Amino acid sequence: MEAGNPHAVCIPLPAQGHINPMLLLAKLLHFHGFHITFIHTEFNYHRLVQSRGLDSLRGSPHFRFETITDGLPSTNMRGIQDLPDLCLALPVHGLRSFRELIMKLNARSDVPPVTSIISDGVMSFTLEVAEEFGIPEMVLFTPSACGMLGYLHFEDLKERGYFPLKAAAVILNTFDDFEHHVLDAIKTKLPKLYTVGPLSMLQRRLCPTNLDSIGSNLWKEDTQCLGWLDRWKPKSVVYVNYGSLITVTPQHLREFAWGLADTNYPFLWVIRPDIVDGGGERILSKEFTAAISDRGLLVGWCPQERVLSHPSVGGFLMHCGWNSTMESVSEGVPLICWPFFAEQQMNCFYSCTKWGIGMEIDSDIKREKVESLVRELMEGMKGQGLRQNAIDWKKKAEIATSPDGSSYINFNKIVIQLKQRMP
């Protein structure tokens, strides 16, 4: 790579569901000849060293990691940070640190000058730095288009200056067929909109082995669960995971546990160490452990995409996080939806009523309902319909990410724009 190569600085919101899609986009750009600087907060950098080892952050001469400070005290290196606190601290401390980093990068002779900044939609403070240095910026919005449309109507965000976006272009991790009408509505407000999803599928198709060793999981993955999945019949295992941020009450955890135990289906259940105050697994009784025997596997964190693509997995009980929804659609796996916050309710509504891939479970979890919905999903008529729809969407996602597809074409447009030093 020459000094004249484009240099994209990628800065995600420092939360798992934002880091993952940004990393996929960065790998895609790197594959197209970009020098990449990928920015973590110092807090997350240390977590990644702990969960994945330093080697996973060495990158390559043209894919490098840098850090900024987030301004929060680094008291708890095990758990997650308080997201509202983080969102308040970043525009002050993160902004200062980010400005210094851009200056430092531009002063170096061993990397090309920064030609573009790709920023998370929630990190709009980076616009200030981009404008100051005259560097073109694109924004990656990590929620769904239907969720984003909701945010665009959020008056408070307008007052706080997030919207209307000053950015020239917005990137979304969805595909045209999937959210056609919503995308049309957004384009009336943001004409330069690029859909490149499902990002994980696009990355797999374009550059499957590019920078394979670089990952972004902040928790240590349990890969043995993949061997456990090998033991079960195709489409017979229920996969349960509520993402990286949600916390659940002990009571809800017990209701999920007994509901799953009562179905008689094998299940893989991710219980993050910080999911319940006091430790999730310890809340579950010996009686429960005895009842499930080896039919249920509980792990702290798993390689989710590999789990969803495993032939044994037949359904996903989930929280409607957007990355998880896209990853599930990419594998044609139907859903039971337990939305919690942010735009998850919107994702649930669309999954259940528009895309026909999911069933909603009441927010106040009861074991009988867990049992009956899991049975319906795995063996009922409705479940069969949802599975068929999920498979149909998977095929449409494959078309979108193939060479004549909308996501593929849009990604190439992004590359061209960024290489031209977008005005």
3-class SS shares of the chain: helix, strand, coil, % to 5 = 45, 15, 40
Show the DSSP H helices in 68-179 as ranges. 83-89, 95-107, 126-133, 145-152, 155-159
- Contacts to ligand UDP from residues 182-221, by CB under 6 A: 217
Q: Is 174 in the site for ligand UDP (CB under 6 A)?
A: no
β partners of residue 9: 37, 117
CB of 334 to ligand UDP, least distance (A): 16
**CA pair distance 350, 338, nearest whole angstrom:** 13
What backbone phi and psi angles, to 5 degrees, belong to 359? -125, 135
Task: Write each residue from 259 to 288 as x if it is in contact with ligand UDP (CB under 6 A), else as -, in one continuous string.
Answer: -----------x------------------
Phi/psi for 136 (5° steps) reads -60, 145
CB of 103 to ligand UDP, least distance (A): 31
Q: Least distance (Å) from ligand UDP to the CB of residue 249? A: 17
The contacts found for 348-353 with CB under 8 angstroms, 24 or more apart, are 348/320, 349/146, 350/144, 350/146, 350/179, 351/320, 351/325
The contact pattern for ligand UDP, residues 326-365, with x = CB under 6 A and - = no contact, is -x--------------------------------------
Q: Which of 7, 11, 13, 20 binds ligand UDP (CB under 6 A)?
A: 20
Query: What is the closest distance, in whole angstroms, from the C-beta atom of residue 329 to ligand UDP in the complex?
Result: 12
Q: Does 245 bind ligand UDP (CB under 6 A)?
A: yes
CB of 17 or CB of 383, closer to ligand UDP: 17
Rounded to whole angstroms, the Cα distance separating 337 from 357 reads 10
Which tokens in the block code for residue 329? 């659609």
| Binding residues with ligand UDP: total (CB under 6 A) | 19
Give the single-character DSSP code of 92: I
Tell whether residue 243 is a contact of ligand UDP (CB under 6 A): yes
Q: Which residues pair with 119 in a beta bridge?
A: 11, 139
Say whether residue 9 binds ligand UDP (CB under 6 A). no
Residue 79 CB-density burial (10 A; 0-12 exposed, 13-18 middle, 19+ buried)? exposed
Nearest distance, CB of residue 416 and ligand UDP, angstroms? 28
Write out the catalytic residue numbers. 18, 120
CA geometry: angle 348, 370, 329, nearest 5 deg: 35
d(CA 194, CA 174): 9
CB-nearer residue toward ligand UDP: 17 or 59 = 17
Q: CA end-to-end span of the chain, whole Å?
A: 24
- Residue with Cβ nearer ligand UDP (324 or 389): 324
In angstroms, give the least distance from the CB of 343 to ligand UDP. 10
Stretch that binds ligand UDP, among 99-107, 146-154, 239-247, 253-261 (CB under 6 A): 239-247
Closest CB 304 distance from ligand UDP, rounded Å: 3
Residue nearest to ligand UDP (CB): 17
The distance of Cα 244 from the centroid of its chain, to the nearest Å, equals 9
Q: Is 44 in the site for ligand UDP (CB under 6 A)?
A: no
Residue 126 lies near ligand UDP (rule: CB under 6 A): no
**Which CB sits closer to ligand UDP, 57 or 129?**
57
Q: CA–CA separation, 323 vs 312, rounded Å? A: 21
Q: Determine, following the binding rule CB under 6 A, whether residue 16 of this chain makes contact with ligand UDP.
A: yes
Least CB distance to ligand UDP at residue 108 (A): 32
Letters for 288-327 (x = contact with ligand UDP by CB under 6 A, - = none) are -------------xxxxx---------------xxxx--x
Is residue 329 left, alpha or beta, with left meaning phi > 0 and alpha meaning psi from -120 to 50? alpha
- In the structure encoding, which two tokens stand for residue 384, read together? 């069969």
Residue-wise burial string across 116-139, b where 16 or more C-beta atoms lie within 10 A, e elsewhere: bbbbbbbbbbbbebbeeeebbbbb
Residues near ligand UDP (CB under 6 A): 16-17, 20, 217, 241, 243-245, 270, 301-305, 321-324, 327
